[in-house]
Amino acid sequence: MDPPAYDQLDGSAPAARYPHQQTPMADPLKSANVHTQEPPSLQTTVIITGQQVGPDPTTISCPSCRATVVTRLEYETTTKTHLCAGLLCLFLCWPCAFVPYCSTACRDANHYCPNCGSFIGTYRK
């Protein structure tokens, strides 16, 4: 036996509901009152910024292990280092072109926690 066509249904009989089904909720966008008179709830926003580090090892509280430590430095070669070496070569001081790679003056200082090894911050020169 075939089910009845849609145009043969009279629509008066409600659809059978199973016990685990819930009645569909109204569309929240249609029923929401956009202009409510309730005051907005007060929320506290906390902004955590990176810790200020300098060119030398710094005594700081590590955000990962919470220990007060003196940071471990690792220097990173940057574009500025390459530009300084290139300028030395350009002005016929090619024997001194390696100096920016050995000096800390033209490289960024990355600070790390000596206890847990987590990155703390970078001092850009």
* pTM greater than 0.75: no
| pLDDT digit string (tens) for the chain, length 125 residues | 777 777 777 665 555 555 665 655 655 555 555 555 666 666 665 555 566 888 999 999 998 999 999 999 999 999 999 999 999 888 878 888 888 999 888 899 999 999 999 999 999 87
Burial of 85 (0-12, 13-18, 19+ CB in 10 A): buried
Distances in whole angstroms, Cα of residue 35 to Cα of each of 5, 12, 30, 31, 32: 45, 37, 13, 12, 9
